[in-house]
Amino acid sequence: MGLKGTAALVGYAENKPEKIPLGGSKETNLEMSADLAWRALSDAGLSMWDVDGIVISYIDESEMFVPSTVSEYLGTCLDYAERVDLGGAGSAGMIWRAAAAIELGMARVVLCLAPAAYHLTPDGIPNQLAAWLRFGASSYNYGSPQAEFDIPYGHVGQNALYAMFAQRYAHCHGYDPRAMSRMVVHLRQNACANPDAFFYGKPVTEDDVLKSPMIARPLHLLEIVMPLTGGAAVVVADAQVARRSPHRPVWVTGCGESLVTKSPHYADDMLETPIGPASQKAFNMAGIQPTDIHAAQIYDCYSITVLLTLENAGFCPKGEGMRFLREHNFTWKGDFPMNTNGGQLSFGQPGVAGGMSLVIEAARQIMGRGEARQIRRCDNVYVSGTGGIMSEQVALILQGN
Amino acid sequence: MAVLRPRINPSTRHFWDALQTDHIEIQRCLTCQHWVFYPRLICPHCGGRDLEWQRVSGRASLYTFSVADIPVSPDFAEEPLLTLAVAELDEGMRLATTLVQVKPEQVRIGMRLAPVFDHTTFPDITLLRFSPSPDL
Q: Which value does ipTM take for this structure?
A: 0.97
Whether residues B84 and B131 fall in one domain: yes
Taking CB atoms and an 8 Å limit, are A133 and B110 in contact across chains? Answer: no
pTM over 0.95: yes
Nearest Cβ partner for A171 among B95, B98, B109: B109
Taking CB atoms and an 8 Å limit, are B7 and A213 in contact across chains? Answer: no
Asked whether residue A316 is domain-assigned, the answer is yes
**Residues in A touching B5 (Cβ below 8 Å):** 152
The residues near A369 (Cβ < 8 Å, ≥ 6 apart) are A247
Whether residues B63 and B48 fall in one domain: no
Whether residues B70 and B119 fall in one domain: yes
Nearest Cβ partner for B84 among A136, A160, A213: A160
For chain A, the three-class secondary structure string (H helix, E strand, C coil) is CCCCCCEEEEEEEECCCECCCCCCCCCCHHHHHHHHHHHHHHHCCCCHHHCCEEEECCECCECCCHHHHHHHHHCCCCCEEEECCCHHHHHHHHHHHHHHHHHCCCCCEEEEEEEECCCECCCCCEHHHHHHHHHCCCCCCCCCHHHHHCHHHCCCCCHHHHHHHHHHHHHHHCCCHHHHHHHHHHHHHHHCCCCCCCCCCCCCCHHHHHHCCEEEECEEHHHECCECEEEEEEEEEEHHHHHCCCCCCEEEEEEEEEECCCCHHHCCCCCCCCHHHHHHHHHHHHCCCHHHCCEEECCCCEHHHHHHHHHHCCCCCCCCHHHHHHHCCCCCCCCCCECCCCHHHHHCECCCHHHHHHHHHHHHHHHCCCHHHCCCCCCEEEEEEEECCCCEEEEEEEECC
Whether residues B64 and B44 fall in one domain: no
Residue B77 DSSP symbol: T
Asked whether residue A195 is domain-assigned, the answer is no
Preceding amide of A218 cis, omega within 30: yes
Q: How far apart, in whole angstroms, are the C-alpha atoms of residue A150 and residue B57?
A: 21
Q: How far apart, in whole angstroms, are the C-alpha atoms of residue A81 and residue A52?
A: 9
Nearest Cβ partner for B96 among A141, A215, A263: A263
Asked whether residue A134 is domain-assigned, the answer is no
**Which of A301, A171, A174 lies closest to A225 in space, CA to CA?**
A301
Asked whether residue A93 is domain-assigned, the answer is yes
Whether residues B74 and B116 fall in one domain: yes
**Residues in A touching B70 (Cβ below 8 Å):** 159, 213, 215-216
Distances (CA, A) of A369 to A43, A132, A247, A248, A360: 12, 35, 9, 10, 11
A367 pLDDT higher than 90? yes
- Assign B74 to helix, strand or coil: helix
pLDDT < 70 positions in chain B? 1
Range of the domain at A340: 7-124+224-399
**B32 half-sphere exposure, CB direction, 13 A CA radius:** 11
Q: How far apart, in whole angstroms, are the C-alpha atoms of residue A30 and residue A117?
A: 9
The total number of structural domains that make up chain B: 2
User: Is the CB of B42 inside 8 Å of chain A's CB atoms?
Assistant: no
**Residues in B touching A154 (Cβ below 8 Å):** 68, 72-73, 76, 79, 82, 84, 98
Q: Where residue A103 sits, what CATH number does that domain have?
A: 3.40.47.10
Do A303 and A325 contact (CB within 8 A), yes or no? Answer: no
Taking CB atoms and an 8 Å limit, are B65 and A171 in contact across chains? Answer: no
Interface-testing mutation among B69, B94, B116, B129, with chain A (most A C-beta atoms within 10 A): B69
- What are the pLDDT digits (tens) for A2-32? 999 999 999 999 999 999 888 788 899 999 9
Whether residues B49 and B68 fall in one domain: no
Q: How far apart, in whole angstroms, are the C-alpha atoms of residue A356 and residue A92?
A: 7
Predicted confidence at residue A246, as pLDDT, reads 97
The residues near B74 (Cβ < 8 Å, ≥ 6 apart) are A133, A134
Nearest Cβ partner for A155 among B8, B75, B84: B84
- What are the pLDDT digits (tens) for A280-310? 999 999 999 999 999 999 999 999 999 999 9
**Which of A386, A401, A384, A190 lies closest to A279 in space, CA to CA?**
A384
Range of the domain at B31: 11-56
The percentage of residues in chain A with a pLDDT greater than 90, rounded to a whole number, is: 90
- What are the pLDDT digits (tens) for A99-153? 999 999 999 999 999 999 988 766 665 555 666 678 888 999 999 999 999 999 9
The total number of structural domains that make up chain A: 1
Distance from CA of B71 to the nearest CA of A (A): 9
Taking CB atoms and an 8 Å limit, are A265 and B95 in contact across chains? Answer: yes
Predicted confidence at residue A62, as pLDDT, reads 86
Asked whether residue B112 is domain-assigned, the answer is yes
Taking CB atoms and an 8 Å limit, are B66 and A151 in contact across chains? Answer: no
Do B128 and B9 contact (CB within 8 A), yes or no? Answer: no
Whether residues B79 and B25 fall in one domain: no
Whether residues B124 and B76 fall in one domain: yes
Q: How far apart, in whole angstroms, are the C-alpha atoms of residue A302 and residue A389?
A: 11
Whether residues B63 and B74 fall in one domain: yes
Whether residues B26 and B70 fall in one domain: no
Whether residues B116 and B70 fall in one domain: yes
Q: Where residue B120 sits, what CATH number does that domain have?
A: 2.40.50.840
**Residues in A touching B121 (Cβ below 8 Å):** none
Q: How many CB pairs under 8 A join A and B?
A: 114
Asked whether residue B1 is domain-assigned, the answer is no
Q: How far apart, in whole angstroms, are the C-alpha atoms of residue A215 and residue B68?
A: 7
Distance from CA of B12 to the nearest CA of A (A): 9
Task: Tell me the residues of chain B between 103 and 122 that have a Cβ less than 8 Å away from chain A.
Answer: 104, 109-110
What's the mean pLDDT in A46-53?
98
Asked whether residue A209 is domain-assigned, the answer is no
**Residues in B touching A159 (Cβ below 8 Å):** 68, 70, 72
- What are the pLDDT digits (tens) for A179-211? 999 999 999 999 999 999 999 999 999 999 999
**Residues in A touching B119 (Cβ below 8 Å):** none
Predicted confidence at residue A127, as pLDDT, reads 58
Do B95 and B45 contact (CB within 8 A), yes or no? Answer: no
Q: Which residues of A touch B (CB under 8 A)?
A: 133-136, 140-145, 147-157, 159-161, 163-168, 171, 213-217, 263, 265-266, 270
The percentage of residues in chain A with a pLDDT greater than 70, rounded to a whole number, is: 97
Distance, C-alpha A169 to centroid of its chain: 23
Sign of CA dihedral B45, B46, B48, B54: negative
Predicted confidence at residue A4, as pLDDT, reads 97
Do B8 and A148 contact (CB within 8 A), yes or no? Answer: yes
- Residue A120's DSSP bridge partners are A126
Q: Give the other-Cβ count within 10 Å of A156's Cβ.
A: 25
Whether residues B65 and B47 fall in one domain: no
pLDDT, mean over chain A? 95
Q: A175: buried, middle or exposed (CB in 10 Å: 19+, 13-18, 0-12)? A: middle
